[in-house]
Amino acid sequence: MPLLRLVALFLGLSLILGLSIWLVTSLSHLYMQISFTAPILANLLLLLVIVLIGSMMGGYIYYVNKYTRKGSRRKKSKRQVIKARIPEEKTQVAAQNLQALRQHVGKIQDKIAQKALLNKSQQIEADLQRGEVKVVIFGTGSAGKTSLVNALIGEIVGEVNPIMGTTTKGETYSLKLRGVGREILIIDTPGILEAGIAGTERGELARQLATEADLLVFTVDNDLRQSEYEPLKILAEIGKRSLLVFNKTDLYTDEDREIILGRLKERVKPFIPPSDVTAICANPQPVQLPTGEIIEPSVEILPLIKRLVAVLRAEGEDLIADNILLQSHRLGEEARKIIENQRRRESDKIIDRYQWIGAGVIAVTPVPVVDMLAAAAVNAQMVIEIGRVYNVELDFEQGKELALSLGKTLVSLGVVKGAVDILAKALQFNVATYIVGKAIQAVSAAYLTRIAGKSFIEYFRHNLDWGDGGITEVVQQQFQLSRRDEFIKSFVQDAISKVVQPLSEAWGEEDLEEMEEAQKLEVVEEMAAQLEDDW
């Protein structure tokens, strides 16, 4: 019983007892006077006084117990709310992420990817309700991870059967720690950095299990190699709470052990505090004495157990909430990447279709002014359709305005002239002299339409924003990507089959005689200037 309740009960009962004594003394005189004339009435009065005093004392004790218990429960409840407040907020955010994920999943066309994401989201939802803390043992195959797991579980819950051979999948063990309210799952992962295809696959599984851990125990048997440092740093940067364990300390002298431990603490200090770096010996090697007697040294696992218990007691709820939040965020990012790739593929199909439509329109249109209007109309419709892929609705006037704005940028940056020069050089050995001018004009228009379309993808991807560098930087970047030799070769091959060959078949003998009188170079320069004016 709390001290405050005892004091209140003692004071209250003392007061009631004092008043009762005073009341009894006063009523005794009255009883003596009444008893001479009406004995029965005097006895009833005495009984009434006894019942009244008993009721007062019983009522006081009842209300003291009731209100002090209620206050105690309220304080206890308040403490529990404060303790669980942070994890609850994080799990609520995770639930919101999963709700947004479901909306994204409905837009994914790949049914296999869609189903995989839904399965992962259901697993995270199950984790929201689970009662275990996942502790994943991670590191190279030579670091003694399995020995660490055996020693850890054996020290806490007694003897366990040793795991034979190399771990090829996540082996899971369950245990309870005093002071930790949740069940703890110890997961032994395959070793990382192993050679061969099988080793690579096991390493990928280990990394996947590590990213799903509530708490990571990274195990090494010496100073960190760069190949070990990088995965540990990456896991820490994504928010994975980690302990670093220096195992196999029996292989070193006391001096060397302290030097290695100091180096480890210093190297990981930016993302793991020194208190989370411990030295252990999970499977000490037998020692032979000069007498020939062989001694089996005892396991030194206590430093890790103490740190593990301290972290789980202080941060267990937060670790679970942080992990659930991290998993939901990563799953949302995965869904967004799938949708982004899907949108790019759809947009590329639109660009591919309109670039050759534009080239065809220009190839069969003899009047330069009509060429410009036709190209603007084609590009405007392309912008509208790309916008629709990114859930942006534009009318024709808005599409045309955006197309003309980007066309002016192409001209001002010299992209139009650059495109004509590149394509003229690429086409001069593949196109008959009599149609070279018109072919360059049509193919260049297709090329510029492609650059425009790719630029608009970036515009819609960033929510109708050209970014810090503006439209100029986006256009220049797309032009540089489109002038690579491998792309030009592929583009010209498509252009020959889709523009040049149909154009060659459409020209007659009179056109042949007329065009052969002009010099090829003069035609190229004239058409380049005309195309630049059109844009």
Q: pLDDT by residue (tens digit) across 295-338?
A: 888 889 999 999 988 998 888 888 888 888 888 878 888 888 88
* CA distance linking residue 30 with residue 42, whole number of Å: 8
Tokens 């005689």 sit at which residue? Answer: 513
Which CATH number covers residue 155? 3.40.50.300
b or e along 393-419 (b: 16 or more beta carbons within 10 Å of the residue's beta carbon)?
Answer: ebeeeebbebbeebbebbbeeebbbeb
Structural domain includes residue 258:
yes
Q: Which are the contacts of 68, defined by CB distance < 8 A and separation ≥ 6?
A: 2, 4, 5, 8
* Average pLDDT of the residues in 225-233: 88
Does residue 422 share a domain with residue 304?
no
Beta carbons of 403 and 383 less than 8 angstroms apart = yes
In a domain, 415, yes or no: yes
Alpha-carbon distance 380 to 405, whole Å?
11
* pLDDT tens profile 116-149: 888 888 877 777 677 688 899 998 888 888 889 8
Q: How confident is the model at residue 278 (pLDDT cuts 50, 70, 90)?
A: very high
Burial class (CB in 10 A: 0-12, 13-18, 19+), 68: middle
The mean pLDDT of 257-267, rounded to a whole number, is: 94
Asked if residue 261 and residue 140 are part of one domain, the reply reads yes
Report how far residue 89's alpha carbon sits from residue 95's, in angstroms, rounded to the nearest whole number.
10
Interval 36-50: pLDDT, tens: 566 666 667 667 767
What are the backbone dihedrals phi and psi of residue 98, each rounded to the nearest 5 degrees, phi first?
A: -70, -35
Does the pLDDT at position 62 exceed 80? no
Number of domains making up the chain: 3
The C-alpha angle 64, 66, 67, rounded to 5 degrees, equals 70
Residue 417 falls inside a structural domain = yes
Of the residues 38, 58, 86, which one is the last residue of a structural domain?
86
Are 53 and 175 within one domain?
no
Which phi and psi angles does 397 have, rounded to 5°? -65, -40
Give tens-digit pLDDT for 103-120.
Answer: 778 788 888 888 888 888
Confidence class of residue 281 from pLDDT cuts 50, 70 and 90?
very high
pLDDT digits (tens, 9 = 90+) for 490-514: 898 888 888 877 777 765 544 544 4
Q: Please tell me which residue, 22 or 362, carries the higher pLDDT value.
A: 362
- Identify the domain boundary among 58, 86, 114: 86
Residue 422, SS3 per DSSP: helix
| Whether residue 293 sits in one domain with residue 149 | yes
Check: CB of residue 94 under 8 Å from CB of residue 124.
yes
| 481 within domain boundaries | yes
Residue 30 sits in the same domain as residue 170: no
Residue 452 to residue 449: CA distance in whole angstroms = 5
Domain shared by 138 and 252, yes or no: yes
Contact of 211 with 240, CB cutoff 8 Å? yes
**Percent of the chain scored above 70 by pLDDT?**
70
Q: 381: Cβ–Cβ under 8 A, 6 or more apart, which residues?
A: 354, 396, 399
Question: Residue 139 and residue 146: Cα distance in Å, rounded?
Answer: 10
The answer to whether 88 and 317 are in contact (CB under 8 A) is no
Average pLDDT value for residue range 384-407: 91
DSSP structure string for 238-282: TT--EEEEE--GGGS-HHHHHHHHHHHHHHTTTTS-GGGEEE-BS
Residue at 95 is within a domain? no
Residue 15 corresponds to which tokens in the numbers above?
């007061």
What are the start-end ranges of the H helices in 393-435?
396-412, 415-427
Cα distance between residue 388 and residue 124, in whole Å: 32
- Shared-domain flag, residues 278 and 390: no
CB neighbours (10 Å) of residue 105?
19
- pLDDT for the residue 529: 54
Q: Say how many CA atoms lie within 13 Å of 381 toward its Cβ.
A: 11
Token couple for 313: 């007691």
Return the higher-pLDDT residue of 4 and 403. Answer: 403
* Residues 241 and 275: beta-carbon distance below 8 Å: no
d(CA 462, CA 466): 7
Query: Does position 96 have pLDDT exceeding 50, yes or no?
Result: yes
Question: Within this chain, do residues 155 and 238 fall inside the same structural domain, yes or no?
Answer: yes
Residues 38 and 132 both lie in one domain? no
110 in any annotated domain = no
- Which tokens is 476 given? 């220049």
Of 12-16, 86-90, 401-405, 531-535, the range with the highest mean pLDDT is 401-405
Domain assignment of residue 71, given as a range: 3-86
- The rounded distance, in Å, linking the Cα atoms of 472 and 463 is 17
Q: What are phi and psi of 224, to 5 degrees?
A: -65, 125
Do 142 and 276 lie in a common domain? Answer: yes
**Contact by Cβ (8 Å): 301, 151:** yes
- 103 lies in some domain: no
Q: What is the pTM of this model?
A: 0.60
How confident is the model over 329-363, as pLDDT tens digits? 788 888 888 899 999 999 999 999 999 988 887 77
Q: Helix (H, G, I), strand (E, B), or coil: what is residue 283?
A: coil
β 287-288/294-295 pair status:
antiparallel
Claim to verify: residue 137 and residue 194 sit in the same structural domain: yes
Could you tell me if 185 and 165 are in contact, meaning their C-beta atoms sit under 8 angstroms apart? no
Looking at residue 77, what is its pLDDT? 42
Distances (CA, A) of 74 to 65, 78, 87, 179, 407: 14, 6, 21, 23, 70
In terms of domains, do 134 and 54 share one? Answer: no
pLDDT at position 37, please?
A: 63
Whether 275 is covered by a domain: the verdict is yes
